[in-house]
């Protein structure tokens, strides 16, 4: 496969990327290409709400910046470095949990939804962060974890102290066990993190008693969302943070709140969320263009609501309708809800973003799509059709805190099943190839209409840390599977800010809560700042052009005439030139059609055209 001779892991040293773009060769050729007469997606228009086109940046607080020297990131550290995101050109930030928590699952085990864990600061620090974001014209979205709490939450502690059948226990999922003496779990459900999804408690009299459900770690008991007090409590939590000025919520495990009546046995084995095939089986176009007006009636032979009776039950939608009414009560500017819902097929996933429910849902089909042009073309078409069927934007994403970074995933051959976390004992990715492809994948994603999410560090081209010693790992899935699943620590390593500095500028301490690999020195922010060809400068150029051209609200039509190894489309809108996007995934260099002016490219271009694993944006006059 043809690869660029430029080492993309080491930024070049010119002062700016824009002079490079100005010197790009004329790639116009004799390619016989034409824009399809069929418009895949019609634009949202210039007056569309901010969230229909926003680029939102995920901050994982533990790993962003440390202000107090304990080796763990915190809210003051985030506030101090928000200028980085203003210069990057994003519209909003999403903060992973910073609530009071024993940190059994890095904060996704919440003990108090209305306070900040001392590890991260105080409520005053949260207010200061929100205020600073306002000054920089950045909106703030916070994580909400409604499926489960910490076992140290006051409600769960009261439930343990109460008797079976009590009102306290009814707020969670307590059940009698199976077997002659209740010695067996109530059903066969397995934890996402490995092992049974049920834990038996010892009652006040010292006897073995009821079992409680935890779809994740035993320290994360599931709420009973059929109980009105649970629903009222979370509506109150929404108001608490909205009153403090946040602009919305990313909803963790949004598809898991309601369980099937009777808690029947599952027919499928649960695996770790984000255990993707990276790229594996092709993604099919599961939304029939002729049927998209009737999504409620869409069916699928592989019904995960039956096979896994704790995911995607219809009752979740009434919860989110009630939440939408709460948010709408705050008026303009729009406050939003974004669903983390690993739901198939797409016709089910878009039910979460109907007009009276959530505003956005992560497009995990896109994240999991193999690096193959036909698969990418297919998932882009089906995603836009599905979202359009309910009047929602598609929300594109390539990386987050739960999956192997796309720079690393794309360093393997398409079809290789990337495990849930990579260790030094596993097959290692081609780091340079992965970065080259990741830059092209990001350029493709940011040209698509709709909203997009970035994960911290991807603007630096960070790979996963694939050589973490096992004794430092903190993801509960590693322990609960006896190391069979490595887990998510590799994508959560603290960011490098200053090359050569202690903890690479992450904070005053020498060490960080997860050790940074030696290679991160080359990716540090200061080493990429103003460096022609660096990934940081590429992201800045892409985001500036995306905003200038209003690509998030554009229409999209595919272009015909290239082979099966090229993804190419036009993003168009009234009052500006058409943007042609060409992503070459094949082994042969391809030419742009006549009349093109290159705006930005994901990597160096050849005199002969667009080389392998490169995406180009060009005005098509």
Q: Cβ contacts of residue 450 below 8 Å, gap of 6+?
A: 52, 53, 384, 387, 393, 394, 395, 396, 552
Nearest to 332 by CA among 238, 239, 247: 247
CA dist., res. 105 & res. 164, Å (int): 28
Is 356 in the active site?
A: no
Q: Are 504 and 524 in contact (CB under 8 A)?
A: yes
Residues 6+ apart with CB under 8 A from 285: 378, 379, 381, 382, 385
Rounded-to-integer distance, Cα 212 and Cα 160, Å = 10
Q: In whole angstroms, what is the distance from residue 91 CA to residue 50 CA?
A: 9
Tell me the pairing of strands 614-620 and 596-601. Answer: antiparallel
Is 340 one of the annotated active-site residues of the chain? yes
What CA–CA distance (Å, rounded) separates 411 from 431?
6
Q: Which of 340, 388, 464, 613 is flagged as catalytic?
A: 340
Residue 607 CA to chain centroid, in angstroms? Answer: 36
Buried b (16+ CB within 10 A) or exposed e, 160-197: bebeeeeebbbbbbbbebeeeebeebbbebbbbbbbbb
Going by C-alpha positions, the residue among 139, 272, 270 that lies closest to residue 196 is 270
Task: Specify whether the CB–CB gap between 110 and 93 falls below 8 A.
Answer: no
Q: How far apart are CA 64 and CA 232, in angstroms?
A: 33
For 375, the enclosing helix (H) or strand (E) is helix 373-389
Q: With beta carbons less than 8 A apart as the criterion, state whether 358 and 252 touch.
A: no
Determine the Cα–Cα distance for residues 467 and 224; give it in Å rounded to an integer: 40
Residue 39 tokens read as: 């418009």
**C-alpha distances out from residue 178 to 186, 191, 209, Å:** 5, 18, 12
**Residue 389 structure tokens:** 């069927």
d(CA 590, CA 582): 9
User: E strands of 386-514, at which residues?
Assistant: 395-397, 451-455
Paired tokens of 380: 């882009």
Sign of the dihedral through C-alpha 402, 296, 377, 304: positive
Dist. CA 394–CA 438, nearest whole Å: 20
Phi/psi for 337 (5° steps) reads: -120, 135
**Cα dihedral 424, 602, 380, 248 sign:** positive
CA distance linking residue 599 with residue 22, whole number of Å: 8
* Annotated active-site residue in 35, 151, 222, 252: 252
Pick from 403, 383, 402, 401: which is nearest to 393 by CA?
Answer: 383
**Do 288 and 200 meet the contact criterion of CB atoms below 8 Å apart?**
no
Q: How many CB atoms lie within 10 A of CB 430?
A: 15
Catalytic residue numbers? 252, 340
């Amino acid at each position: 496969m043809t690869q660029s001779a430029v080492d993309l892991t080491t930024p070049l040293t010119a002062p700016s990327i824009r002079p490079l773009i100005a010197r790009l060769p004329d790639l116009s050729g004799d390619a016989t290409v034409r824009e399809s007469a069929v418009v895949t997606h019609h634009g949202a228009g210039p007056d569309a709400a901010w969230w229909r086109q926003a680029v939102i940046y995920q901050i994982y607080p533990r790993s962003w910046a440390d202000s107090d020297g304990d080796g763990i990131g915190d809210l003051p550290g985030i506030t101090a470095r928000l200028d980085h995101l203003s210069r990057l050109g994003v519209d909003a930030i999403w903060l992973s949990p910073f609530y009071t928590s024993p940190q059994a699952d890095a904060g996704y085990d919440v003990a108090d939804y209305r306070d900040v864990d001392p590890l991260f600061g105080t409520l005053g620090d949260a207010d200061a962060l929100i205020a600073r974001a306002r000054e920089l014209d950045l909106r703030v979205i916070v994580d909400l974890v409604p499926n489960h709490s910490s076992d140290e939450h006051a409600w769960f502690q009261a439930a343990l102290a109460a008797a079976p059948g009590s009102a306290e226990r009814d707020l969670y999922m307590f059940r009698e066990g199976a077997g002659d003496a209740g010695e067996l779990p109530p059903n066969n459900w397995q934890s996402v993190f490995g092992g049974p999804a049920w834990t038996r408690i010892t009652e006040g009299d010292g006897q073995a008693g009821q079992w409680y459900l935890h779809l994740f770690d035993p320290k994360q008991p599931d709420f009973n969302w059929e109980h009105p007090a649970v629903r009222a409590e979370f509506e109150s939590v929404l108001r608490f943070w909205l009153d403090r000025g946040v602009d919305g919520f990313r909803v963790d495990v949004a598809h898991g709140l309601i369980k099937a009546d009777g808690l029947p046995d599952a027919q499928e084995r649960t695996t770790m969320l984000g255990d993707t095939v990276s790229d594996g089986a092709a993604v099919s176009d599961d939304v029939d263009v002729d049927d998209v007006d009737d999504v409620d009636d869409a069916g699928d032979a592989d019904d995960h609501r039956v096979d896994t009776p704790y995911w995607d039950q219809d009752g979740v939608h009434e919860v989110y309708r009630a939440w939408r009414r709460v948010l709408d009560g705050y008026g303009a500017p729009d406050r939003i809800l974004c669903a983390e819902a690993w739901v198939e097929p797409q016709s089910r996933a878009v039910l979460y973003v109907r007009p009276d429910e959530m505003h956005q849902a992560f497009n995990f089909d896109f994240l999991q799509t193999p690096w193959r042009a036909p698969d990418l073309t297919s998932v882009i078409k089906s995603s836009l059709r599905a979202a359009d069927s309910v009047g929602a934007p598609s929300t594109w994403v390539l990386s987050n805190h739960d999956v192997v970074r796309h720079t690393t995933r794309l360093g393997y051959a398409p079809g290789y099943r990337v495990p849930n976390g990579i260790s030094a004992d596993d097959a290692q990715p081609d780091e340079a190839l992965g970065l080259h492809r990741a830059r092209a994948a990001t350029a493709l994603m940011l040209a698509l209409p709709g909203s997009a999410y970035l994960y911290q560090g991807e603007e630096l081209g960070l790979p996963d840390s694939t050589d973490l010693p096992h004794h430092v790992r903190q993801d509960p899935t590693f322990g609960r599977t006896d190391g069979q699943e490595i887990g998510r620590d590799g994508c959560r390593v603290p960011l490098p800010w200053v090359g050569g500095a202690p903890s690479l500028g992450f904070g005053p301490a020498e060490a960080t809560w997860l050790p940074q690999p030696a290679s991160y020195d080359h990716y540090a922010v200061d080493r990429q700042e103003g460096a022609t060809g660096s990934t940081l400068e590429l992201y800045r150029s892409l985001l500036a052009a995306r905003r200038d051209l209003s690509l998030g609200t554009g229409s999209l039509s595919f272009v015909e005439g290239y082979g099966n190894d090229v993804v190419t489309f036009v993003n168009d809108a009234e009052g500006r030139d058409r943007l042609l996007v060409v992503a070459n995934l094949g082994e042969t260099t391809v030419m742009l059609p006549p009349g093109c002016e290159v705006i930005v490219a994901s990597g160096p271009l050849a005199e002969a055209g667009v080389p392998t694993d490169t995406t180009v944006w060009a005005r098509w006059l």
